[in-house]
Amino acid sequence: MSEPIKKTIDNKQICIYKCGAENAPAVYANMYMEVGRAILDKCEELGCAPFDLVSISGLRWDEELSPWPHGPVVSKDDHFTGEAGEYAKRLTELIIPQVEEIIGKPSRRVIAGYSMGGLFALYAPYVTDAFSATVSASGSLWYPKFAEFAKTSEFAKKPDAIYLSLGDTESRTKNKYLSQTERHTEELCSFYKQNGIKTIFELNPGNHYQNADLRLAKGLAWILNRR
């Protein structure tokens, strides 16, 4: 695969990895740091169908990926200002059009992310109709009141598939929010299935900080290899 095309849009670092296939699916992945190549390598190992990867990094992580304001949860340095709705609008109106001038119109768009990026990936379909499927790998679904929001709100566009995952030790904590992550994720998986969405919840070995590239790749392979 050739080197990525790099652009700066909306003060974000955009790395576009083209697979070379016409009208390939496009995966928009919000990342804490740029690790697009590592994800693609894992996808290749898993036999994932070809896709164009749009890696978006340089985000204000807590601010732009949190759906509404909340005080610190994980550490005293948390800064959850609830700007995810505004970021989803800029992603749709600024980033996607400029990216697709380069890659062309994809056959479908998938929104993906890890941690807070995984939370945003599940939140985005409620506020934009740009995406047809979601990969939330080790998603921060502990976020206060998110599970309630997800079960009582309408999608802007109902996803045809949702992939959810966690590490099997992520909820082993005394933190009253983080300890509920697995329960909330299981509940949402069941809820989406009951509402006719192809959904899977996968537990991976390890904690929140292990094998992020592999966990994302497993979700992408499940979404993109489905027939």
pLDDT band at 174 (very low <50, low <70, confident <90, very high): confident
pLDDT band at 171 (very low <50, low <70, confident <90, very high): confident
DSSP for 152-201?
HS--SS--SEEEEEEETTTT-SS-TTGGGHHHHHHHHHHHHHHTT-EEEE
- For the chain, what percent of residues have pLDDT higher than 70? 99
| pLDDT recorded at residue 221 | 97
SS3 of residue 129 by DSSP:
coil
Query: What is the average per-residue pLDDT within 202-213?
Result: 88
| pLDDT recorded at residue 178 | 87
Average pLDDT, the chain: 95
Beta carbons within 8 Å of 86's beta carbon, 6+ residues apart = 64
Q: How far is CA 18 from CA 48, 50, 106, 113, in A?
A: 14, 9, 11, 19
133 has pLDDT over 60: yes
1 has pLDDT over 60: no
Query: What confidence tens digit (pLDDT) does each residue in 35-76 have?
Result: 999 999 999 999 999 999 999 999 999 999 999 999 988 888
- Total-model pTM: 0.96
Total of domains in the chain? 1
Distance CA 16, CA 27 (A): 10
| pLDDT recorded at residue 98 | 97
**Residue 200's domain is classified under what CATH number?**
3.40.50.1820
Least Cα distance to 199 among 117, 133, 151 occurs for 133
Structure tokens at 223: 């979404």
| pLDDT recorded at residue 172 | 85
For residue 142, what are the domain limits? 5-224
